[in-house]
């Protein structure tokens, strides 16, 4: 009996070591990058936003971001944008391009709904699995997330791979006098026993090593700050109710926007 238990433990340890080695030496994703888009606005200075990174006891990353304020944008406009993001196109300079491509001018490649929501409603809605390919400076990134909550004030996504979840990303849209206060509270990593800390070590030292994490934070702030330039006209053109038989929306991006010159974070009042 003892020998059988010992063999089982040794086999489990060998499997864990094999998986750890496989994960560590697995190459990072490679895919072609799209050309930068010539958009009719310039993004604000991303360094005006604030963020904090902590490593939890089990090695998971805890990341918070206080985004730049979205001026004259209501939370429901942000929510609608995300709901239609993977199924929409816009007209730019006479060409139809994915809405995802104006969400960041240089670092967005591809997004799609891999598994639709149980409700059958198209888009980024509760229960849908959404995959994406993007890059943060020189670092490629691809993955998928399950939307577990989506309403006018909150979006929660769980990164998912091979049926396992790797944390939770909570987006909060709060109505303020100036528009919308947008914050993100993320836990990235695995809480699985034994193998979880190994996965988290890999995430911190290969997938989200410090230099990549810095670029990722820049990217996050830049893309969210772009919403102030088109979220409102997009909301006014789109139907708030996404018909399950309507897979695409088309918007004419005839906008002329300039970057704000005042420090945007000065508009954010401290929360209590």
Q: What is the pLDDT of residue 169?
A: 97
Can you list the domains of the chain with their CATH numbers?
A: 47-267 (3.30.530.20)
pTM across the whole model = 0.82
pLDDT at 6 over 70: no
Average pLDDT taken over every residue of the chain: 82
Element (H, E) at 111: strand 108-115
Judge whether residue 258 has pLDDT over 50. Answer: no
Summarised one tens digit per residue, pLDDT across range 21-48 is: 445 445 567 888 888 888 888 888 999 9
- C-alpha to C-alpha distance for 271 and 160, rounded to whole angstroms: 32
- Which two structure tokens, joined as six digits, stand for 62? 């805890």
143 neighbors 161 (Cβ within 8 angstroms) = yes
Tokens of 243: 């018909």
Q: What 3-state class would DSSP assign to 71?
A: strand
Q: How many CB atoms lie within 10 A of CB 243?
A: 9
Residue 24's nearest CA partner among 205, 193, 187 is: 205
Which two structure tokens, joined as six digits, stand for 47?
């360094």
Average pLDDT over residues 140-159: 95
* Burial bucket for residue 272 (CB in 10 Å: 0-12, 13-18, 19+): exposed
Model confidence at 248, pLDDT cuts 50, 70, 90, reads low
Vertex 220: Cα angle to 120 and 88 (nearest 5) = 35
Give the span between the Cα atoms of 116 and 26, in whole angstroms: 29
Q: Which of 125, 132, 191 is nearest to 164 (CA)?
A: 191
Whole-angstrom distance, CA of residue 117 vs CA of residue 160: 15
13-17, 204-208, 258-262: least confidently modelled range: 258-262
Q: Which of 48-52, 159-163, 259-263 has the highest mean pLDDT?
A: 48-52
Residue that wins the pLDDT comparison between 96 and 180 = 180
Provide φ and ψ at 6, rounded to 5°.
-60, -45
Q: Give 90 or 50, the one with higher predicted confidence.
A: 50
> What tokens were used for 73?
């944008």
Tell me if 168 sits within 8 A of 174, measured CB to CB: no
């Amino acid at each position: 009996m003892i020998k059988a238990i010992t063999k089982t433990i040794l086999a489990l340890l060998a499997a864990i070591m094999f998986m750890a080695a496989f994960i560590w030496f697995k190459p990072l994703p490679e895919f072609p990058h799209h050309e930068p888009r010539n958009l009719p606005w310039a993004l604000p200075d991303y360094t005006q936003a604030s963020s904090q990174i902590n490593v939890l006891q089990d090695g998971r990353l805890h990341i918070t971001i206080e985004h730049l304020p979205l001026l004259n944008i209501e939370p429901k406009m942000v929510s609608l944008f995300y709901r239609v993001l993977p199924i929409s196109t816009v007209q730019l300079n006479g060409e139809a391009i994915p809405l995802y491509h104006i969400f960041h001018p240089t670092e967005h490649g591809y997004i799609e709904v891999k598994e639709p929501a149980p409700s059958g409603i198209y888009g980024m809605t509760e229960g849908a699995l959404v995959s994406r390919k993007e890059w943060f400076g020189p670092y490629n990134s691809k993955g998928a997330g399950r939307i577990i909550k989506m309403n006018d004030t909150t979006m929660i996504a769980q990164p998912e791979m091979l049926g396992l979840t790797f944390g939770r990303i909570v987006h909060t849209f709060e109505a303020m006098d100036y528009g919308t206060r947008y914050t993100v509270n993320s836990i990235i990593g695995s809480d699985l026993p034994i193998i979880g800390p190994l996965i988290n070590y890999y995430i911190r030292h290969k997938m989200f090593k410090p230099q990549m994490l810095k670029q990722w934070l820049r990217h996050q702030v830049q893309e969210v700050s772009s919403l102030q330039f088109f979220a409102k006209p997009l909301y006014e053109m789109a139907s708030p109710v996404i018909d399950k038989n309507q897979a695409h929306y088309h918007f004419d991006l005839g906008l002329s926007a300039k970057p704000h010159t005042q420090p945007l974070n000065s508009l954010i009042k401290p929360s209590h």
